[in-house]
Chain A
Amino acid sequence: TQLLEQSPQFLSIQEGENLTVYCNSSSVFSSLQWYRQEPGEGPVLLVTVVTGGEVKKLKRLTFQFGDARKDSSLHITAAQPGDTGLYLCAGASFGNEKLTFGTGTRLTIIP
């Protein structure tokens, strides 16, 4: 069974601070996706990273795929209350249809 461990599990910081969320596995993935989920809603895709070492930026969010394609990180600069939510990484394996989701990081930004 492929496992994606996210850390930290919970994070509560002040508005304006920076933070990094990690997603780690012992398995190699063909691609990795990050989603954000708000209470009562389904996850919504933020980004997909495909190439080992790839870095993608989405406004204040920076996503990196590890060189070995086993891990990823999400860095948020100058966090805002609107960033509050459950952040999920999800890995796709070569030739496999299903996505395996991580354990999630619940982020709370305090105004």
Chain B
Amino acid sequence: DTGVSQDPRHKITKRGQNVTFRCDPISEHNRLYWYRQTLGQGPEFLTYFQNEAQLEKSRLLSDRFSAERPKGSFSTLEIQRTEQGDSAMYLCASSPVIQSPLHFGNGTRLTVT
């Protein structure tokens, strides 16, 4: 069990630029989740996948956000035309079955200047 891996750990970008984050879940986990967390707050759900299928998206996920999990393994989260309000920690988590505990990565901290 190598854990959930996220890359990069930190990303600083200028407003208007596009950014892409990667998440590698625990290999036998077919469920993958993206959450966003601002400083001192609890994580907010963004979207989740069961294998390669994206089954639910939060209203927080505007048209500028897109997530993929093309082969049911790793996932990417892209933010287009970044805004300062996108600055946050983006957390990825995986789990093996429905409603089982989530295994989180250490997140990607995005700063939009």
- Residues on A lying within 8 angstroms of B by beta carbon are 4, 6, 30-31, 33, 40-45, 48, 86, 88, 90, 92, 96-104, 106
Contacts and interface: CB of A to CB of B under 8 A. Distances in A.
Contacts of B107: 40-42
Contact of A98 (B33, B105, B106): B33
A1 B31 CA distance: 22
Contacts of A97: 31, 48, 50, 55-56, 98-99
B67 to A, nearest CB: 14
Given A100-B45, A101-B42, A44 B98 contact: no
Contacts of B99: 30-31, 92, 96-97
A48 B101 contact: yes
| The 6 A-B residue pairs with the shortest CB-CB distance in the complex, in nearest-first order | A42-B104, A101-B42, A45-B101, A92-B99, A104-B42, A98-B45
Contacts of B93: 42
Contacts of A6: 42
A102 B101 contact: no
